[in-house]
Amino acid sequence: MSLDRSQKLTIAMPKGRIFEEAVHFLQQAGLQVTAELQDSRKLVIPVENAQLEFILAKPTDVPTYVEYGVADVGVVGKDVLLEEERDVYELLDLQIGYCRMMVAGMPDWKPTEAPRVATKYPKIASRYFREQGQQVEVIKLNGSVELAPMIGLADRIVDIVSTGRTLKENGLIELEHICEITTRLIANRASYRMKSGAVDDIAQKFMEVIPRSIR
């Protein structure tokens, strides 16, 4: 199956490991896409003979570009989708970039009267604790959230965990599991209707190689 040549598709992708894995998927599907694209200083990169154009963006911006139609489709982690709450179609679980959204803290953590939780994901954290019937103060941090319990800024943290090594190295343990996180293929609602052939085509190409990629 080849892409619909009458419909150019713009794909928003984050730089880094997710980009490399997604490009690997497209290569397996027979498209002439190279991983070296992310080494370019260009932010908008056309792919010759493939009717594709990449927008390389910060992960948190990918669903924004897709919602507003700057990109037709995007590749993004489920953590970003849950936090950004953008109005997009979630087409496919690519089953890459696996990790877990967890509550973590010090091993001797005890409930307090005014609990504070530090996180890069304030919406996810607030929603989770509200569903648990717990009132907490959520403190947004942009990095090194593991530091918060160590210096007394917060009682617990909410963050994504892959191997757990970072938590262990900082004396923290996993306390509660919130959800599983993988990478998703999303689409702009208008593009899904107006460019249905091209969108379905790229989704099918991803779908065809997912089983081979996770064996």
For 69-127, what is each residue's pLDDT tens digit?
999 999 999 999 999 999 999 999 999 889 999 999 999 998 888 899 999 999 999 99
- Whether 132 and 53 share a structural domain: no
Instruction: Examine the pLDDT at 35 and tell me if it is beyond 80.
Output: no
pLDDT > 80? residue 1 = no
Q: Are residues 124 and 170 in the same domain?
A: yes
The total number of structural domains in the chain stands at 2
Give the model's pLDDT for residue 47. Answer: 75
Write down the pLDDT at residue 105: 96
Return the exposure string of 138-166: e unless at least 16 CB atoms fall within 10 Å of the residue's CB, then b: bbebeeebbebbeeeebbbbbbbbeeeee
Residue 199 domain-assigned (yes or no): yes
Range of the domain at 19: 9-97+182-214
| Residues 14 and 83 reside in one and the same domain | yes
Same domain, 199 and 175: no
C-alpha span between 62 and 50 (Å, rounded): 21
Same domain (yes/no): 14, 80: yes
Residue 59 belongs to domain with CATH number: 3.40.190.10
Which candidate, 154, 138, 197, 137, places its Cα nearest to that of 7?
197
Question: What's the pLDDT tens digit per position in 170-192?
Answer: 999 999 999 999 999 999 999 99
Choose among 128, 151, 148: nearest CA to 139.
148
Which amino acid is present at 187?
Answer: A
Average pLDDT, integer, range 45-53? 76
pLDDT number for residue 20 = 81
pLDDT confidence of 215, banded at 50, 70, 90?
very low
Same domain, 145 and 204: no
| 93 plus 103 within the same structural domain | no
Q: Are 135 and 105 members of one domain?
A: yes
Instruction: Check residue 2 and give its pLDDT.
Output: 45
Residue 61 domain-assigned (yes or no): yes
Residues with Cβ within 8 Å of residue 189, at least 6 apart in sequence = 87, 88, 89
In this prediction, residue 193 has a pLDDT band, given cuts at 50, 70 and 90, of: very high
pTM (2 decimals)?
Answer: 0.87
Looking at the domain assignment, is residue 204 inside a domain? yes
- Same-domain check for residues 187 and 169: no
SS3 category, 44: strand
Judge if 69 and 129 occupy the same domain: no
What is the arithmetic mean of pLDDT over 133-160? 95
Sheet holding 183-187, edge to edge: 44-47, 52-57, 9-14, 73-77, 183-187, 89-93
Percent of the chain at pLDDT exceeding 70: 88
Does residue 93 share a domain with residue 14? yes
What is the CA angle 22-97-185, rounded to 5? 50
Identity of the amino acid at 132:
Q
Residue 112 sits in the same domain as residue 164 = yes
Domain presence at residue 208: yes
- Look at residue 211 in the predicted model and tell me its pLDDT: 61
* Average pLDDT in the chain: 88
